[in-house]
Structure formats: structure tokens, C-alpha cells
Amino acid sequence: MEWVAETQPNTIMMLDAQLVLSDAQAVTTTANSANVFDIGENKGVLGAGESIEFGVLVTEAFAGLTDLTIQVVGSDASGLTSPEIIDGSSAILLADLTAGKRVFAGKVNLSGKHRYYGIKYVVNGTATGGKVTAYFNLDQYEHNTYPSGFEVLTN
């Protein structure tokens, strides 16, 4: 099993690479997350009755679009066709889609109703840029991300 570690002040968060749904994924049109979480053939066993946390972070500021809506979806198809919306954000305006900002997070119950779970990004307007990282996590979704290229200054 692979792990991705993210660090921030006073906190270390471990992300299982199998639970990373979008890794700096460009979102310029309505699309599904690049990856899905497959609970396997044993629907209802893994995660049954338990909530799993999720987060969506902007890793590159968006440009051009009017707003973005984010949906956590489940489907019986790996391509997330005919998905059921499990949770969804309200419209997130362009001004709020800045690098380093967590724009949607919460908890969902993987009821086992579906085999595959992922994220759907619904773009309103003509997006010319913007990237996100999205993940499921078993614990603690509150953490900070920072845009690349920053400097750490010391005294």
C-alpha cells in the first residue's frame, strides 16, 4: 500500500494513494475524477455503516469559469456512468477558487450500495485553467495546502 504524506503546521496527515481521486487534475470542462475508489466485489463490507471523510483542494487557481459545483458520486460502473449523487456543494464562485484553498469537504457514508465512488466536477462557464486534488480519508480532513513556488523565510 502506498501512502502520500502531507505536512502542515502542527499536523501530519497521511493519505492512502488508493483514496486519491484527483491529483492536481485540470478541470476545464464538466468531468469525473481521474480515479475512483473501488470497494470491490463485496459491496456492503468495506465501509458499511461507517462514514469516510473527503476533501477537495484547489492546487492551481481557476480562470474563466463562472462557478464550479462538486459532487461526491457512487456508481456500479468504473466510469461513474449513471451516478447517484451522495453529496454536493453549492456553486463555488470563481473568486473562491484560489490556489491552496479547501473548497469542499465533509463526511459521506459508503453504504455499499455502489461498487465505485468518485467526484464529479460540474463547470459553469468557460474555464481556461484550474486544478484540484480530491481524496477520501479515514480520518481528519482539515489541513492546509500551499501553492508551489513559495519561500520559507527564517530569522
Domains of the chain in sequence order = 21-137 (2.60.120.1110)
- In SS3 terms, 40-85 reads as CCCCCCCCCCCEEEEEEEEEEEEEEEEEEEEEEEEECCCCCCCCEE
Q: What is the pLDDT of residue 10?
A: 40
Among 5-14, 42-51, 82-91, which is the least confidently predicted range? 5-14
Binned at pLDDT 50, 70 and 90, residue 144 comes out as low
Give CA–CA dist 90/15, Å, rounded: 26
CA–CA distances in Å: residue 93 to residues 73, 106, 120: 21, 19, 17
Beta-strand pair 51-75/20-26 = unpaired
Name the nearest CA neighbour of 92 among 101, 84, 100, 83.
101
Mean pLDDT across 25-52: 79
CA–CA distances in Å: residue 75 to residues 31, 43, 123: 15, 12, 21
pTM, to two decimals = 0.79
pLDDT tens-digit readout, 61-108: 999 999 999 999 999 999 999 999 999 999 999 999 999 999 999 988
